Structure 1
Amino acid sequence: MASPSVNARTTSSTPSAKVVPLSAKAPERLVGVGFRCWLAGLSTGDIKCWEDAWNSFSGILGPEHAKALLLDLSKFVRAVKANAQRDIEISPSGCRGFCRDECLAISIIAACQHDERQALTASAAALIGSDDIGDTLNGAQALAAALSKANQLLCPESVCPATCALRAQRRRLM
């Protein structure tokens, strides 16, 4: 089986790609932009993608915290990519909002931080297109804990309700 790819979508040419405005909250921005940049870097091998992630993280947290958090971000994104049974969609670099899959990644980390287990498992399953979410959850929990330690708490409102994530998963299966 060919491994799923990353699909960078532009919202103007793809009517199904809904974009949620870029959150003004730093923790959500870190997760969403970091997820986008790291996944794009893994898929293209373009170092600029990883530099963009570094610049976002170090600009908000400073170089020492950024270095540690990017290691955890990398583990989370690699787990998502390795376990994905479908194409993961990301917005193009510099996009002023987040697409559905980027929002699911944010929801997963927020759900870890707020112990919303039902939403966590539903969001992870919707993101990777499979119920085999163990590695993804391990990566997410490590990133969520590292963000908490750096005083970067995502808002409870960033957790996608389980029913919302399940609807997103069902739409992809149709």
Structure 2
Amino acid sequence: MPDSVIAETSALSTISSPTKLDQLSRQERVVALALRHAMHGICGTDSACWSHLWTSFAPDCGVAAARKAAGALAAFIRQLATHATRQISYHQPLCPCLGEDEHILLKLIALTQHRDWRNASALARHYVHEDGIGDIIAATSRLTVVLSGCRLELPINNSGHRVNEPSPAYAAPGKATLH
């Protein structure tokens, strides 16, 4: 395989991703739960999700920064929904399972936080049109500034494990599904 193809897909592999929230770091769990609240709040009808969203961040960020984090995460999700080329699945906020899309979105945030633009862009391509990648990376960058200020640094697995390519089973009409 040519090096350019390997470099372009280096954010992906066939190694399994975590399937449970308790397999994540504490910081990843905080962001995963907030992602769920944001997805549920934007895609669903439960207005209580918005208060849950900012309270997800409050213990780590304090009230003022938690509201900024909630706003930045909501903006990221709105950009994702605007540019999505396929359905994105997520679990209900208190579900102990971790979905493939949720894990990949966490990795997208982590890669952006660590300024790995090449791999972050490669992951974004699995969710959005080519012309939406810049908007997604910009929204993710704004989110990561707030997360870093709250000391919510998401780890990058340096053992060579990378996230899976999203399954074609999730490629269905619509913007989101709820488990």
How high is the TM-score relative to the length of structure 2? Answer: 0.74
2:79 counterpart residue number: 79
Q: Is the 8 A contact 2:60 2:151 kept in 1?
A: no
Pairwise CA RMSD of aligned residues? Answer: 2.6
Give 1:24 shift: 4.9
SS in 1 for 2:124: helix
1:168 corresponds in structure 2 to: 166
Larger RCO (CA under 8 A, 6+ residues apart): 2
CA shift at 1:62, angstroms? 2.1
The structure 1 segments of at least 4 consecutive aligned residues displaced by more than 4 Å after TM superposition are 169-173
Greater percentage in helix: 1
Contact 2:87/2:170 (<8 A) preserved: no
Letter in 2 for 1:120: A
Q: TM-score, normalised by structure 1?
A: 0.76
What percentage of residue pairs aligned between the two structures are identical?
Answer: 24
Specify whether residues 153 and 32 from structure 1 end up closer, same or farther in structure 2 by C-alpha distance, changes over 3 A only. Answer: same
Q: 1:26 to 1:19 in 2, by over 3 A?
A: closer
User: What is the CA-CA distance between 1:104 and the residue it aligns to?
Assistant: 1.3
Deviates further, 18-27 or 31-40: 18-27
1:136 aligned counterpart, secondary structure: helix
Aligned pairs for 1:15-164 within 5 A: 20-22=19-21, 23-126=23-126, 128-132=127-131, 133-157=133-157, 161=162, 164=163
Shift of 1:19: 6.2
Could you tell me which amino acid in structure 1 is paired with residue 28 of structure 2? E
User: Which of structures 1 and 2 has the bigger CA Rg?
Assistant: 2
Post-superposition shift, 1:121? 1.1
Q: Please give the secondary structure, in 2, of the residue aligned with 1:168.
A: coil
Given residue 89 of structure 1, which amino acid in structure 2 is its aligned partner?
S
**Count of aligned residue pairs for this structure pair:** 153
Residue 7 of structure 1 corresponds to which residue in structure 2? none
* Alpha-carbon distance between aligned partners in 1 of 2:25 and 2:107, rounded to the nearest angstrom: 14
Which structure 1 residue ranges, 5 or more long, are not aligned?
Answer: 1-17
Structure 2: tracts of 5 or more residues without a match: 1-16, 172-179
Q: CA deviation at 1:172?
A: 5.4
Displacement of 1:53 in angstroms is: 1.4
Confirm or deny: 8 A CA contact 2:31 2:106 kept in the other structure: yes
